[in-house]
Structure formats: structure tokens, C-alpha cells
Amino acid sequence: MADTERRSWVPMSGLFLAQVLMSFNVAALPISLGGMVEDFSVPPTVASSTIVVYGLAVAALVMTGAKLGQRIGWTLIFRAVLAVFATSSLLMILSPTIGWAIAGQVLAGAAAAIIVPALVALIAENYRGAQQATAVGSLGSARAFSGMSAFLIGGTLGTFVGWRPIFVITLVLAVVVFALSFTLRSDRGDASTRIDLVASVLVGGAVVALTLGFNNLNGWGALLAAPEAPFSLLGLSPAPVLVVVGVVLGQLFILWTLRRMRQGKVPLVDLSVLGSRTERSAVYAMFIIVLMEAAVNFTVPIYIQVVQGRTPLDTSWAMMPFNLTVFVTATLIVRFYSRFSPRTIALFAFALTTGALIWLSAVVTNNWETLPTILGLVVFGIGQGALVTLVFNVLVTSAPTRLAGDVGSLRGTTQNLASAVGTAVMGAVLVMVLGVGVGRAVTEHPELPEELVAQVDLDQVNFVSNDELHEVLSRTTATDAQVEAAIALNEEQRLRTLKTGFLLLAGLSAIAALPASRLPAYRPEEIPDPAP
């Protein structure tokens, strides 16, 4: 197909909606946390496992999924996994327990593991030249649009109907995308493509070990094994051990893949897509961007719904400035590519996210509708939206078309591992900081005597609403004055913990200036123009 040939955008509409489908599902999960906590009577950290297992499944399987697509044919396997995604939506709608909901997200993640590389490969197959660049850029806009619409639609449904109908939307989207898939160019696949099973096991094991390790740092112990840990290793918690194992398996995967490439064998993923410092820096930056976004999208909804006891609609309105800004910025940032280099845009965007997070740590209160808080979320959204589209564009345009599937799988592994780790680590850190803060504050409040504290299990400190705390204390010997003191202490420590969380994210954002400084510094006339 010649570069000058223009194709209909109807096939791209299906690919756009496929990205919307995945992103809507992910964005709907934080909105649903409050409803799942209430429906299934589980702690927020257990309900958030639905977010973690989705990202875990995608990150663990996406590289293998890319090879399956090359072997079977992208169009055929794309349709097959859409049916799997529809099944996962049904599980979410009908789930009687949290276990069924978690299983539903495992299926969704497994399907997305193939959809993610398929999107890039199918764009490369169906479009060329300026149309291809525009199509690639639209995936970032689709992701941002999904986040905005999921919070708005999901919040409304979650408040007035319930959290389950939110996933009726993902079911409908899966059916629509399946129908539109018949407008795509058909590819036959390559039966000679071999899947490196050793590499599949290594990368899958690395992702699972890292995610489980980070996700259980709080419950199993950050260093020494807690009573809840399934086992201990010479008194050590299995959580940090799993993190180390994950890092080792990841290194083994890289060494194994490089060895196969030297031998002229087909690797699970062609690491030449990371051959230059520019490409590696883009991946590092992408990991930090998605991790920060996942942490914020986990922290704010869980605080508003679980701690403050407000509705999903309240959460939607609180997050709307952020999500709307991300969407608008991700869509418009392409207009600046011909005027500023990727390095300049990235450094400026990371400066915005760092400043916004520091600002939020200083001004956030128990009322999210204050102007300073909204301003902080807007500025953070501007930086986030610019970065999401920019780094993916750098990664895609720096790799040859034949490696589109490998770029897609690398993108999927990076984004979903970052999302899972961001959610898991933020949850663990917040609960850990809260536990330490509450424990220290109790000793500083003489109105809360030791005999009362002994009746409350401080080893199980978690984010709870004032109503839940009042209910727990009503079963103790606490007087009304002591109950009021305990609730005031809880409010103070929760807010302090939230501020600390924002400050830690600001530090991470500042560190991201290092990989951002290694992104390309193209002259304006050399920058790939994503606009048609």
C-alpha cells in the first residue's frame, strides 16, 4: 500500500474503541471499589486486588500474546480475545463474591495482553504515512478519553444504580468492537513463528513475583514476616524476597533473549527496540508516568469513597478536573511536536507533575472541591496528558514497522506492570504510614488510655470511615469523649498520610527528569509529524 493511499477511518474506529474498552475497564475499577467493599464485605486493599491482577495478567502475558498474534494472525486472534473480554464483563456483572470479580479481571487482563500489541500491529497493517502517525497518536487520546468518561459515567451509575452496571458498558463495547473488526485488513499469520517458552516463563514469573511482592509488602511485612504471611524465610517476609526473585528473573529473561538473538533465533520480543538510549529512556519515563497515574487514581477514589463515605458520583466530580485535563492535553499536545523537541516537552511536563504533587501535599484537605486542590489536579493532569502521548510516540517512531508488535508488547508490559506496581505500592505505603502515624499518635494522646487501645487491633490499621471507626469503638469500653478523640486522631492521621503519599510521588516525578533528559532533541523539521 503506497504511503499516499488514504484508507477509511472506519477500521481505526474499531481499534480506537478497543483501546477505550481496555482503558474504560481499568478506570472503572477504582470507581467500583466502594461498591465492592460494601457488596462483598472486604477491606479496600482486597477489593483493589481486581486492579492489581488485571495489570499483572497483561504484563505477564503480553509478550507471549504478541507472538501468538504473529503466528495465528492479528485479525483472527483479535476477534477471539474480544469474546474473552466480553466474558470477563459478564463475570463482573454477575459475580457473587470478590473471588469471581478477581477472576473476571484476570480474564480481562489475559485478553488485553493480546489486544495491546494487536492495536499497534493492526494500525501498521492498515495505515501508512501520516495516517499511521495519526492513528498511533489517537491511542493516547482514547486512553485519556476513557479515563474521563469512566469516572463520569461510572460515578453516576455507581451512585444511583450500582457498580455492576458499569461493566455492562464494557460488554457492549466488546460486542461493537467485534463487529467493527470485520472492516480490518485480514492477515494470515505466520505458522513458522515459534514462541520462546523459556522466555515466556521467565518474564511471566518476573512480573508475577514483582507484583505479588509489592502488593503484599504491608500485609506480609516489609522486612520481617508478619503473622498474616503465608510462610517465612528465616524470619523474613516473603514479600521482599519475591521482589528480589522478580528482579533476578527479569535479568535472566534479558540474558536469555540476547543469547537467542546472537544465535539468530526468534526471540519472544526483539530487544533491538531498546537498542538506543532514547528508546530505553522512553520506556523508563513511561513506567514512571503510568505508575504515578495509577497511584493517584487509586488514592483519591479510595479516600473519597471509603474514608469520607461519599458516593462514586462525588468521586467522579472530584477526579473530573484531572481526567478532563489529561484527555484535552493528550489530544492537543501533538500540535507542539513541530515546535518543541520531545526532551523539552518531557522535562517541562515532569516539572509540572512534580510541582503539582508538592502543591497537593501542602493544600489537600478533607474537602476535595477546594480551588487549590482542583488547581493541583489540573496542573498534574496537564503534565500527565502530555507525557502519556509523547513517550509512546517516541517509542513507536524510533522503531521500524516490522517491530510494531514488539513495540506494542513492550508498551503493554511496561504500562500494566507500572499500573499494578503503582496501585500495590501506593496501597502498601499508605497503610504502612497510617499504621505508624496512628501508633505514635495514640501514645501522645493521654485521653486514650492503654486499656482502651488494647481493645482495638492496631496491627490491622487500614483506611476506615468515621462511621466504621465509631462502630468498632462502640463495642469497647470507650466513653463518648474518647470516641470523639479517637475519630479526630484518625482524621488527622489519614490526612497526614495522604499528604505524605503525594510528597513521595513528587519525589518520584522529580527523579524522572533523568530519563526525560535522554529523550530525543530533534530539530523542529526532523520531528515526526503525527498530524494528518
Q: Mind listing the pLDDT tens digit for each residue in 283-309?
A: 888 899 888 888 887 777 777 766 666
Question: Averaged over 364-369, what is the pLDDT?
Answer: 72
Least confident of 69-83, 233-247, 368-382, 453-467: 453-467
pLDDT number for residue 1: 43
3-class secondary-structure state, position 229: coil
pLDDT-derived band at 53 (thresholds 50, 70, 90) equals confident
The proportion of the chain whose per-residue pLDDT surpasses 70, expressed as a percent, equals: 82
Q: Which residue has the higher pLDDT, 487 or 241?
A: 241
Say if CB 223 and CB 240 are below 8 A apart: yes
Query: 293: closest CA among 345, 353, 230, 250?
Result: 353
pLDDT value, residue 532: 32
The mean pLDDT of 365-389, rounded to a whole number, is 83
Task: Report which of residues 531 and 286 the model is more confident about.
Answer: 286
Note the pLDDT tens digit of each residue in 470-498: 666 666 666 777 777 777 777 777 778 88
Residue 526: predicted pLDDT: 47
Contact 143, 388 (CB under 8 A): yes
* Residue range 435-444: mean pLDDT, rounded: 63
**pLDDT at residue 449, as a whole number:** 59
- Of residues 2 and 474, the one with the higher pLDDT is 474
Q: Is the pLDDT of residue 527 over 50?
A: no
- Enter the pTM of the model: 0.71
**Distance between CA atoms of 153 and 143, rounded to whole angstroms?**
15
Residue 366 in this model has a pLDDT that exceeds 80 = no
pLDDT of residue 102: 93
Cross-strand pairs, 236:
224, 233
Residue 72: is its pLDDT beyond 50? yes
Reply yes or no on whether the pLDDT at 531 is more than 50. Answer: no
- 497-522 residue pLDDT tens: 888 888 999 999 999 888 888 887 75
Residue type, 74: W
* pLDDT number for residue 223: 79
Least confident of 53-62, 371-380, 486-495: 486-495
> Mean per-residue pLDDT for 456-468?
54
Amino acid letter for position 404:
A
Instruction: pLDDT band for 528, please (50, 70, 90 cuts).
Output: very low
CB 376 within 8 A of CB 360: yes
169 within 8 A of 47, measured Cβ to Cβ: no
The reported pLDDT for the residue numbered 245 is 94
For residues 516-531, give the mean pLDDT.
Answer: 58
**Weakest mean pLDDT among 100-114, 212-226, 438-452, 486-500:** 438-452
Maximum distance among all Cα pairs of the chain, rounded to whole angstroms? 80
Cα separation, 231 vs 107, whole angstroms: 28
Residues 6 or more apart whose CB falls under 8 angstroms from that of 147 comprise 23, 27, 297, 323, 326, 327
pLDDT above 80 (res 372): yes
Query: For position 401, what pLDDT does the model report?
Result: 63
pLDDT digits 0-9 by tens, 254-282: 999 999 988 888 888 888 777 777 788 88
Q: What is the pLDDT of residue 170?
A: 93
Q: Please tell me the number of Cα atoms within 13 Å of 428 on its side-chain side.
A: 23
Average pLDDT, the chain: 80
Look at residue 443 in the predicted model and tell me its pLDDT: 62
Secondary structure class of 261 (helix, strand, coil): helix
Q: Rounded mean pLDDT of 198-220?
A: 84
Query: For 144-183, how does the pLDDT look when each residue is reduced to its tens digit (9 = 90+)?
Result: 677 677 777 877 887 788 889 989 999 999 999 999 999 8
Give me the amino acid identity at 53: V
Greater confidence, 502 or 31? 502
pLDDT per position as a tens digit, 322-351: 878 887 887 788 778 778 888 888 899 999
What per-residue confidence (pLDDT) applies to 525? 45
3-state SS of 234-246 is CCECHHHHHHHHH
524 has pLDDT over 60: no
Spatial neighbors of 399 by CB under 8 A, at least 6 apart, are 273, 279, 406, 407
In the block, which residue shows the cell 469523649? 481
Q: Which helix (H) or strand (E) holds 6?
A: none
Mean predicted confidence (pLDDT) in 22-43: 85
pLDDT for position 529:
40
